[in-house]
A and B are shown apart, each in its own frame.
Chain A
Amino acid sequence: MTKLGQWLCGLVLLGSAWAVLALAPPGLRLPAPFRQALLPLPVYLLVAFGCYALATVGFRLATFNDCEEAAAELREHIRAARADLARRGLRF
């Protein structure tokens, strides 16, 4: 199954479970406090996921390593490489 298919399956499963509970006929309804929590649940989940995404990306952005030493080391290596290659007769 493609990743798209997996997502659709997951959404259909969750969505239909939610719809069955939310749209049940009056006689079969959940007690009122549960119902009040159930109805806005998809929105809560969406907001929670959005927060999670923002927090994750923000944290990783803040902790993205700046490789200053690697750049300095590379510059050093480039100098050595140029000198050695010139000694071996390379015309740049």
Chain B
Amino acid sequence: MPAIAERTATNPAHRFRFLPAAPSVSQFRARRLTASCRRGFRVRRRADMAGGGGDKFSVLLPTYNERENLPLVVWLLARTFRDSGKDFEIIIIDDGSPDGTQEIAEQLEKIYGSDKILLRPRASKLGLGTAYIHGMKHATGNFIVIMDADLSHHPKFIPEFIRMQKEGNFDIVSGTRYKGNGGVYGWDLKRKLISRGANFLTQVLLRPGASDLTGSFRLYRKEVLEKLMEKCVSKGYVFQMEMIVRARQLGYTIGEVPISFVDRVYGESKLGGNEIVSFLKGLLTLFATT
């Protein structure tokens, strides 16, 4: 699912001081602190895991017709994790692609071993949200990485995600195209304008406290993702937005790492009127209900 419309980087909390219910950063931290005291046990367990270096990262790769890209992504992932010495597994959730994605995934399983590549296919196209739930059931890592399998997300950023997570002990680390060295490749001016405009609108309406809501390159603590999956009901781009919005509501912390988004090298990426309409509908739904 290539990302489409997005939002921007400033902290909108500063712009709307007159609005009554916007919690300040310090209030937010205080609330989070009390929440973590209540969850003392969990916090201690997390600290142990962080200190012991026993982390394992499960990468969820939902695929549909990614025969060309899948082996390349898996190769890059395996190399990145081996270079950084982290324990990992790649869970491929193929939704019955007619192009033979499944067959090439089986070859990859033979090359890398069935402890590194887990095939968890489904019979038909059932959507991204259920793909994550399905994949997560089989994940043995304590962290989950979700990313697109179409090479628009380069695995080289994962070590930075991991470093950022450790630094801030974050619950979620989100890749962002809108900050620092982040950016995109292969978008024309119109697409960039839609993306920036949609991002601005989202920031104004939702004040989510994260700069890239429609991106889908993120690192989650497993239990956090499980909790969020219970709460989120949207589909498509809006699903990624809802994950961040709900995460804020539940008091989870979010770190950000700038990423470059290289639009599909193989296959085509679509941004039609329908997607814009469903994005706006989803945005307004979140605006009215969260």
Contact = CB atoms under 8 A, between A and B. Distances in A.
A binds B: yes
Contact of A70 (B71, B199, B205, B260): B260
B168 interface: no
A6 B288 CA distance: 10
A26 interface: no
Contacts of B19: 6-7, 9-10
Contacts of A64: 183-184, 192, 195-196
The contact size tier of chain A is 35 or more
Contacts, number: 112
A31 to B, nearest CB: 25
The contact size tier of chain B is 35 or more
Nearest to B186: A71
B287 A10 contact: no
Nearest to B263: A71
Contacts of A84: 75
Nearest to A74: B262
B111 A88 contact: yes
B196 A60 contact: yes
B287 A85 contact: no
Nearest to B198: A57
B107 A91 contact: yes
3 nearest interchain CB pairs?
Answer: A65-B183, A67-B260, A70-B260
